Chain A
Amino acid sequence: MNEQIRATIKEIGLPRLLIAGFLLALFAVAVATHMDLRSLISDSITRVARNGILVLALLPAVQGGLGLNFGLPIGIICGLIGCVVSLNAGVMGVAGLAYATGIGLVLAIPAGVAYGWLLNRTRGQEMMVGTYLGFAIVSGMSIFWLLAPFKNPTLVWAIGGKGLRTTLALTGIYDKILDRWLAFSVAGVAIPTGALLVFGGLCFLVWLFFRTQMGISIAAARSNPRFALAAGISDQRTRIQASVLTTVLGAIGIVVYSQSFGFVQLYTAPLLMAFPAIACILIGGATVTRATIGNVVIGTLLFQSILTIALPVTSQVIEGDISETARLIIQNGMILYALTRVGKS
């Protein structure tokens, strides 16, 4: 019996159990203090749908041997350019969203190739290089946002008429357009059907991809590059394929994120966006060398629910707000924990 409990704990993983326990405790407090559980759960689900694709974007990088993609902001920037271009052109609704995604994809593919090329030249340092490259590109793009020749008065600063604003409201353009599509509520809990479907659909496509010839060779090259070579696979190429895929999903992810959030955030906003996503996939049970769709879904669910619930619950119980502190401890603690496990299988 004791053995069995221990085996179960090992199967699920201690960190996940702790996080799930913490989440349950938060829920218990929420119930005890008569908080509005329905809105908490609604918010949690909305945030899962909002952040899910950004977490999913990490999976191809892990499976391709690039480790956790700290360079996620590269894909995010591509998606943001897509959003800004679509807003500048004034395309509304679903067409606008598709336009933004399309531009994001067109940019993300060459960006992913270049990123992969760089990672091939800095083998073994992928996570470090990704982090710094992400930081550098976000800063470089801050200059771009200021100088870019966008003229649409709703986007540029009101005074001076030059340079994009830090946040662009999507109200009336494609604000929550996916979240609202087919949305319904069950027992007072609102379900953002469209956004969930998009997240679920992409998860399915990625799962399917890793069962195609290209997907299998990407995973094989990660697992053993010399084996791959003997089987006629070039791991230089599969790593670039993985990098393109992670960057493309990052671009799609930020477009979906922005429509759900209702704003496009520019300048330094993408700087730290890789970190919560990485914490999600790790909490879901992924390691630096192995990740599954299940890890993505479970991790996003746990981490985003904690973020949603911790703020109201803690402010109810304690005077003041420790939710941001809790977020940073969980997020960075999780990343640290994962890095201590590198090399152990």
Chain B
Amino acid sequence: MSATSTTSGNAAALELRDVVKEFEGNRVLKGVSLTVSAGEIHALVGENGAGKSTLMNILFGMPVIHETGGYGGQALLGGEAVRFKSPAEAMAAGIGMVHQEFMLLPGFRVAENIKLNREPAHPTPLTPLFGHGLDALDVPRMRRDARQALDRVGLGIDEWLPVAGLPVGHMQFVEIAREMDKERLKLLIFDEPTAVLTETEADRLLEAMRDFAARGVAVLFITHRLDEVRAAADRVTVLRDGEIVGQVDPKTTSVVRIAELMVGRPAAAAAGRRAFDAAGDAALTITKLMVDMPGEPVHDVSLTVKRGEILGIGGLAGQGKIGIANGIMGLYPASGEVLLHGEPFPLNEPRKALERGLAFVSEDRRGVGLLGEESVELNIALAALEAQGRFLRRFPIPALRPLDQGALRRHALDMIERLDIRTQGPTQQVRRLSGGNQQKVCLARAMTLEPKLLFVSEPTRGIDVGAKERVLQILVGLNRDQGVTVVMTSSELAELRSLCDRIAIVYRGRIETILPPGAPDAAFGLAMAGETAAAA
């Protein structure tokens, strides 16, 4: 169903009129007006920090809005002015939300999560005395409803499994199934739902979205992935710096144009490639590596990384591609034999890995990559400070060498400039930066180590188009100008193919095959499905 087919004259499912929001004097929304019709899939795109999340928080009545002084302008739901003070009010009015960070109870079963607070129940003898709180749950019906909702989103898992331990992709679908099960839903908001999904999962999600729209639900879809916008959305609103800079029909507008609107500057050409010596010596030789990383186990990986190359590691989620770098860096228990420049390399010792000239940009930016409460400058310097004793003044007792604040500041300012980190200054808390800038801080930390070999995992996950390109350019620059060998793990095949000299595909904890970036799409597809041998 498309926007044009909704009956005219009816009030829009959602209308925003001149919405304004300030945080401590900083205007993050500067008069946003927007309408979404019933049955429409409306995409909202914009770089991180454009104001998308704030707009969603306003719609969903998140307390953070209320606590920071509310907002200006009006929101109308089905023609009626609304002003939600809590998510409960928003939900009661028929707004649903699929969150970027899951709102699920890990200890509860899938069906319990789906039906939470809306459980079907029978009255019991205690009901007349104590009210409906003491009704008995109608478990069979709960399971039946949950099953139905799960089937509709195409998730074949048992509805009686606990949510804890499910892969992230499945959790996302449980959230969607929960919204699917709500009967009075008028508006459903997806907040970057595909950020954690694999490509096939993302396709299924888009289908679920169309299913909602077909039921007459207005869908507001926030995303970074422009190909998805083109695949699913009826209309696209582009938000930049708190203002709407364009509203376009995705069917007739190119991705490049939308990307341009978002970043407000013409998208730069793809990063330049450089030649690499395929016959050169090995930087890293991995033999029979096993890594015990929950969710991403590596069973038996043997792999040689050539000096000066960019090696890609690809594969589907859960197959173990993430585990390789984490194992070598000593973050998860690993065994096997690793040679670094021909010399034995100790596993399970993170500090030795850093001392031997390795650096790692983790896929888990907030969990492993950053000290959120600390300043940008300390985040950049900390690993080098610890492993190499840099940015410290002289003192007889090595552990008590005091910080050289001047050197730290100079280095941070230099990095901020070189990587174009958008920050209020080197002392700003890192958690206040947007995702893309946080990622640049992670890269700056790794670069500060001046590594010979750099592992980067999911370098562009959850960051906007502009920052994405910048991050990839930085990686290429390191490789080309400073001769750093780069091992890049990514779920985005396109990204690997645009950057890497060779791409190793991991399947079930083993290297399935190694392909050149120019190999046909089908070769990659088969490798990721573990069917290379069948094709040969």
Contacts and interface: CB of A to CB of B under 8 A. Distances in A.
Contacts of A216: 378, 382, 385, 403
B371 A224 contact: yes
Given A212-B395, A213-B386, A220-B382, A230 B400 contact: no
Interface in A199-244: 208-209, 211-214, 216-217, 219-220, 223-224, 226-227, 229-233
A223 B374 contact: yes
A325 interface: no
Contacts of A212: 392, 395, 399-403
Nearest to B25: A3
A340 interface: no
Given A212-B401, A213-B389, A232 B351 contact: yes
A220 B371 contact: yes
Contacts of B367: 224, 226-227
Nearest to A217: B386
Contacts of B364: 226
B285 to A, nearest CB: 23
Contact of B369 (A3, A214, A227): A227
Contacts of B329: 230
Q: Which of A7, A208, A230, A232: most chain B CB closer than 10 A?
A: A230
B228 to A, nearest CB: 31
Given A231-B387, A232-B350, A224 B399 contact: no
Given A229-B331, A232-B354, A232-B387, A214 B373 contact: no
Contacts, number: 84
Nearest to A232: B351
Contacts of A226: 331, 364, 367-368
A345 interface: yes
Interface in B373-393: 373-374, 378, 382-383, 385-387, 389, 392
Interface in B383-418: 383, 385-387, 389, 392, 395, 398-403, 405
B386 A233 contact: yes
A230 B399 contact: no
A343 B472 CA distance: 36
A160 to B, nearest CB: 49
B294 to A, nearest CB: 13
Nearest to B329: A230
A227 B372 CA distance: 10
Nearest to A229: B350
Contacts of B467: none
Contact of B350 (A208, A213, A230): A230
B84 interface: no
Most buried by A among B24, B398, B402: B402
A223 B372 CA distance: 8
A211 B331 contact: no
Contacts of A231: 350, 354, 382-383, 386-387
Contact of B368 (A217, A223, A227, A345): A227
A219 B379 CA distance: 12
Contacts of A232: 350-351, 353-355, 383, 386-387
User: Is the interface on chain B under 10, 10 to 19, 20 to 34, or 35 or more residues?
Assistant: 35 or more
Contacts of A230: 329, 331, 350, 360, 362, 368-369, 383
B398 to A, nearest CB: 7
Nearest to A208: B402
A227 to B, nearest CB: 5
A224 B372 contact: yes
Given A220-B382, A226-B367, A230-B368, A211 B402 contact: yes
A214 B382 contact: no
Nearest to A241: B399
A142 B483 CA distance: 67
Interface in A227-264: 227, 229-233
Nearest to A233: B386
Contact of B370 (A213, A214, A224): A224
A233 B368 CA distance: 13
A7 to B, nearest CB: 8
B92 to A, nearest CB: 26
A213 B398 contact: yes
A209 B371 CA distance: 20
A192 to B, nearest CB: 30
Nearest to B404: A211
Contact of A214 (B353, B383, B399): B399
A217 B364 CA distance: 20
Given A212-B402, A229-B350, A223 B371 contact: yes
Contacts of B403: 211-213, 216
Contacts of A233: 351, 386
A220 B389 CA distance: 15
Interface string B322-338: 00000001010000000
A226 B367 CA distance: 7
Interface in B291-348: 329, 331
A213 B382 contact: no
Contacts of A213: 385-386, 389, 392, 398-401, 403
Contacts of B370: 224, 227
A318 B109 CA distance: 61
Contacts of B360: 230
Contacts of B378: 216, 220
A224 B368 CA distance: 8
A286 to B, nearest CB: 14
A37 to B, nearest CB: 41
A212 B401 CA distance: 5
A217 B391 CA distance: 13
A11 B373 CA distance: 17
A227 B370 CA distance: 6
A264 to B, nearest CB: 32
Nearest to B399: A214
B207 to A, nearest CB: 36
Nearest to A6: B69
Most buried by B among A213, A224, A229: A213
Interface in A134-153: none
A220 B430 CA distance: 13
A212 B392 CA distance: 8
Contacts of A224: 367-368, 370-372
Interface in A26-68: none
A272 B423 CA distance: 46
Interface in A77-99: none
Contacts of A290: 373
Contacts of A7: 24
Nearest to B431: A345
Query: Which of A224, A232, A290 is most buried by chain B, counting CB atoms within 10 A of its CB?
Result: A232
A241 B299 CA distance: 37
Interface string B275-297: 00000000000000000000000
The 5 A-B residue pairs with the shortest CB-CB distance, nearest first, are: A232-B351, A231-B383, A214-B399, A211-B403, A212-B400
Interface of A: 3, 7, 208-209, 211-214, 216-217, 219-220, 223-224, 226-227, 229-233, 290, 345
Given A213-B400, A226-B331, A230-B329, 7 more contacts: A211-B402, A211-B405, A213-B386, A213-B392, A213-B399, A229-B350, A233-B386
30 contacts: A208-B402, A211-B402, A212-B395, A212-B400, A212-B402, A212-B403, A213-B385, A213-B386, A213-B399, A213-B401, A213-B403, A216-B378, A220-B374, A220-B378, A224-B367, A224-B368, A224-B370, A224-B372, A226-B367, A227-B368, A229-B350, A230-B362, A230-B368, A230-B369, A230-B383, A231-B354, A231-B382, A232-B350, A232-B354, A345-B373
